[in-house]
Amino acid sequence: MVPAPTTVVASPAPSAPTSAPTGPIGADGKPLKPCCACPETKKARDQCVFNLGEENCLDMIKAHQQCLRDLGFKI
């Protein structure tokens, strides 16, 4: 007599626990995104780069990066 084949059923992998975002939180209580943070320095930086080229706007670029760091972004 031949034994019946056994069926192996894989259980789903345990899901990772969801945790609250660890990044900066905006005034509305929602997580900030780098693209939406520091709009003043971002606009000045973008206009400078567009008009003068990146190599001529290093101070504006650094100011925007510092603004993002001050909000808690790790860049």
Question: Which are the contacts of 69, defined by CB distance < 8 A and separation ≥ 6?
Answer: 75
Q: Dump pLDDT digits (tens) for 35-68.
A: 999 999 999 999 999 999 999 999 999 999 999 9
Per-residue confidence (pLDDT) for residue 6, from 0 to 100: 63
Mean pLDDT of the chain: 83
Amino acid at 52: L
Q: Is-contact 71 31, C-beta < 8 A? A: no
Question: Which are the contacts of 70, defined by CB distance < 8 A and separation ≥ 6?
Answer: none
The model scores a pTM over 0.85? no
Per-residue confidence (pLDDT) for residue 8, from 0 to 100: 58
35 is in an annotated binding site: yes
